[in-house]
């Protein structure tokens, strides 16, 4: 999620914004309505790695061919027996 925040508000709420970044949020800091900086998770952070893993898995699932005759619900129930 990318949110815009003014420079003054970013200055006064920096600890809160950092907690938001840890939770996966991204912020664009503006000065008089113009974007001047992005506050994003650091490279190599666990959140960035997790987000990349989720994206890769979603792409894999979209690209995988469908198995004809397979019913996901019945497979799930079979595994619970």
Share of the chain above pLDDT 90, in %: 41
CA distances from 64 to 23, 60, 69, 71 (A): 30, 6, 15, 16
Superfamily of structural domain 2-65: YefM-like domain (3.40.1620.10)
**Does residue 81 have a pLDDT over 80?**
no
**Whole-structure pTM value:** 0.53
Which of 18, 8, 60, 67 has its CA nearest to residue 52? Answer: 60
Reported as a pLDDT band with limits 50, 70 and 90, residue 35 is very high
CA distances from 9 to 3, 26, 53 (A): 12, 15, 32
Helices (H), the chain: 7-12, 14-22, 46-63, 72-80
Domain boundary assignment for the chain: 2-65
């Amino acid at each position: 999620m990318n949110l815009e925040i003014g420079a003054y508000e970013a200055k006064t709420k920096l600890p809160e914004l950092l907690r938001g970044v840890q939770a996966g949020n991204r912020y664009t800091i503006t000065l008089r309505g113009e974007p001047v900086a992005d506050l994003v998770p650091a490279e190599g952070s666990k959140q960035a790695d997790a987000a990349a893993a989720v994206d890769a898995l979603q792409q894999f699932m979209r690209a995988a061919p469908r198995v004809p005759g397979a019913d996901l619900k019945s497979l799930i129930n079979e595994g619970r027996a």
